[in-house]
Amino acid sequence: MRFEKPIALLLGSLVLAVARAACAEVIITYPTNGATVNGTITVTAQINSAWWSKLWVDGQGIAVSGIGNVSFAWNTSSFSNGTHTLQVDAYPSGKPANAAETIEVVVNNNGISPVGHFYTLPASAPLPNDATCAAEIAWEQEMVPDNQAPNNTKPTSAQLQAYANNGYAWNPYNGTWAYARVDGQYTGTTDMIFRWAACKWGIDEDVVRSQATNEHWSWDQMNSGGDKHTIESQCVNGDFTSLWNYECTDCCFDSWSDFQTKVYYNWQTWPMMQTSTAFAADFRFADQRACMDGDLAPYFIGRPAYNGHTYAGDIASGNLETILWGCIGLHYSGDWYDGNSTSGAVWYISVLQQTAAQKPWKTRWPSVNWPD
C-alpha cells in the first residue's frame, strides 16, 4: 500500500506530459496580423500545454521564453523595412515544436508609412531634416483660423542667435545637439506644423496631436498662456522679466504654446514660444527626442525609482513604447513613471494614450481631410 501514492503521482505526471505534447496551443496577442511596427517591440503570446516557446522572424530565432503569458523583445531595426513573417512556436520537453502561430507584420523604421503617417523612430535613429519632412506633408485645411499669424511666422536669425547664445534651454544636459537643431523654419496650417515636428523628431504624429489636445484643447497658439501667477517672483527669472504683466496685469502666465512649455525656466525660447507655432512644436519634440535618446541621464542621478521604472533601466532596455511614454510623462510631472491612476506621470500617460486611441480631433473638426 505504501507504493500507491508515488505510482498515482507518476501516472498523473505521465498524463500531464502527454496532454502537454498533444494539446499545445499558441496565440499571438501582440502585434496583430498586418500591423506596422518599428523600433524595439514586445511580442506577446499565450502558450498553453507546452514546456517552452520561441519567437522566430523570417526563420531566424530571436528569443525564447516559457509558457503562459509570455513576451519576447524584438529589435525590428535589425531587419529591412517591409513585410516579415513572425512566428511563435511551442515545444514539448525534448521534442520539436508541436504548435505554432504565424502572422505577417510590416517593419517601418524610416518614420513614414505608405499612407503618410509619421511613426516613432527608435532611440538614436537617423532623423530627417526640415526640407525632407516639409516635402512629405500635403496641404491640409486649417482648423484654427486664429493661428494664421503664428503658423506663418518663422524665428528670425537674430532670435535664433540669441536662443543659441543663451544656451538653448534651462539645462540641456547631453541634449544640446537636439536643442541646437531647433529652428522653426516651416510654415503651414496647425496640423501640418504638428506633423512636420513629428517627422523631424521621429515621434508618432498622433502622440503630438494628443499632447496638444491635452495641454491646450483649443490648439490656439497665440492665446496659449497657462499656469497663471500673481506673485512677481514667480514670473521673473533673474534678468528675464518679459512674462510679468504680459497679457495680464500684475500677473503672468509661465507656460506657453500648444504644448505648454514652461517659459519661466526655458526663457531662452521667448518670444518664439508664442509667436511661432513651428518653433514651439520644434522645441517641445527636440526635448522629447533628447529624452528618448538617453541624453537626460544626468537629470535623473539620485532620483528614486517609481513603479518599477528608472530612466537608466528603461533606456537600457530599448523598449520603444516604454521610453516614448516615459518621456511624455516627464514633460508633465518632472519624474519618471511616478504617480498612479489619478496623479503624476502615470495618470498623464494614461490620459494621452486614451486621447491617441480616440483621436478626438477627427470628430471635433470633421471638415478637415485628415491624412490618416
158 and 285 both lie in a single domain: yes
In a domain, 209, yes or no: yes
3-state secondary structure of 56: strand
37 and 141 both lie in a single domain: no
In a domain, 122, yes or no: no
Grid-cell match 529652428, residue found? 183
Per-residue pLDDT band at 157 (split at 50, 70, 90): very high
277 and 138 both lie in a single domain: yes
252 has pLDDT over 80: yes
How many structural domains does the chain have? 2
The string of pLDDT tens digits covering residues 61-116 is 999 999 999 988 898 877 877 788 999 999 998 888 889 999 988 887 766 555 57
215 and 141 both lie in a single domain: yes
195 and 81 both lie in a single domain: no
168 and 37 both lie in a single domain: no
201 and 289 both lie in a single domain: yes
Domain boundary among 43, 73, 107: 107
CATH number for the domain spanning 33: value is 2.60.40.10
Name residues whose C-beta falls within 8 Å of residue 172's C-beta, 6 or more positions apart in sequence. 178, 179, 290
149 and 96 both lie in a single domain: no
Domain boundaries, position 302 = 130-222+269-364
194 and 289 both lie in a single domain: yes
Q: Average pLDDT of the chain?
A: 90
279 has pLDDT over 90: yes
In a domain, 42, yes or no: yes
In a domain, 2, yes or no: no
Domain boundary among 76, 107, 138: 107
Domain boundary among 45, 74, 107: 107
In a domain, 214, yes or no: yes
In a domain, 290, yes or no: yes
Q: Which range is least confidently modeled, 48-52, 221-225, 277-281, 353-357?
A: 48-52
d(CA 138, CA 199): 13
Q: Is the peptide bond before 31 cis (omega within 30 degrees of 0)?
A: yes
**Cα–Cα distances in Å, from 131 out to 97, 153, 186, 196, 198?**
50, 17, 9, 10, 13
Looking only at the bridges linking them, the beta strands covering 40-48 and 25-30 are antiparallel
The string of pLDDT tens digits covering residues 320-346 is 999 999 999 999 999 999 999 999 999
CB 257 within 8 A of CB 273: yes
pLDDT > 90 in the chain, percent:
73
Q: What is the DSSP letter of 181?
A: T
In a domain, 73, yes or no: yes
67 and 177 both lie in a single domain: no
Q: Alpha helices, DSSP H only, in the chain?
A: 4-22, 130-136, 148-151, 157-165, 176-180, 190-201, 205-215, 272-275, 277-292, 311-317, 320-333, 344-358, 360-364
Mean per-residue pLDDT, 282-309: 97
In a domain, 49, yes or no: yes
Q: What is the largest CA-CA distance in the chain?
A: 96
214 and 331 both lie in a single domain: yes
79 and 135 both lie in a single domain: no
